[in-house]
Amino acid sequence: MNDIKDIFFDLDHTLWDFDKNSDLTFFKILEINRVKIDVDKFLYAYHPINRKYWEMYRENKVSKADLRFYRLSDTFKKLNYEVSDNVIHKLSVDYIKHLSDFNNLIPNSLMVLDSLKLKYKMHIITNGFKEVQKRKLIKSNLANYFKTVTISEDIGVKKPDKLIFDHAIKSAKAIIENSIMIGDNYNADILGANKIGMKAIYFNFHKTNEENRENVIIIENLEEILKILT
């Protein structure tokens, strides 16, 4: 890895602890909107539904608006909890509004970034919503680590589409052969980077079974990056 000059990071689940921050946001907005439901039960039902909708969103099978509405609507239906469409719309707006109020990071994120910035130029490639991702970076004190930030909504395509990686490389004035992608989603981050010939490190945040993949660098915690790149 001595040839690496530019490191491209995913944001959610890789540096920014999306699950923890999202859960805290729901505790806040359900209380704000006086939705009297067991929040832990709500979250247990919501997480797999949200993952399903994000997968469909990445594959352009649902719109941003449908993702934001139906992941909530389906959760309430699963729990047999009656709530009006107006309340669901309000919750979807409040969720985006308050998500960046909480900024827990994945363990060791800042320590790893502080070490890497001494040697590498660093960048972000994310599929998140642009109005939220920029606030996350600023409010979590991550923004200053990165030379460029590429957000799928700004480009019009999502990872793993090669166009977003091509755009990120061009924006960073980087060379593919001297670049590496680090992310938690195997299809979006690893296969997406590989499509343009970029090296990649799979951060197995979700503890999947990707260890059986050949020719894939896999880490279980961010500290391992330093053994590979420094």
Distance CA 224, CA 96 (A): 32
What CATH number is given for 6-17+105-229 in this structure? 3.40.50.1000
Question: What architecture is domain 18-101?
Answer: Orthogonal Bundle (1.10)
pLDDT in tens, 86-138: 999 999 999 999 999 999 999 999 999 999 999 999 999 999 888 899 999 99
40: left (phi over 0), alpha (psi -120 to 50) or beta: alpha
The one-letter amino acid code at 164 reads: I
Number of C-beta neighbours around residue 60 at 10 A: 10
Predicted local confidence at residue 159, as pLDDT: 96
Does the pLDDT at position 211 exceed 90? no
Predicted confidence band of residue 207 (pLDDT cuts 50, 70, 90): confident
Cβ neighbours of residue 18 closer than 8 Å, sequence gap 6 or more: 12
Distance CA 115, CA 226 (A): 8
More confident residue, 112 or 210: 112
> Burial of 212 by CB count in 10 Å (0-12 exposed, 13-18 middle, 19+ buried)?
exposed
Q: How many residues does the structure list for the chain? A: 230
8-state DSSP, 143: G
Cβ neighbours of residue 135 closer than 8 Å, sequence gap 6 or more: 100
Where are the domains positioned within the chain?
6-17+105-229, 18-101
Tokens of 40: 């832990």
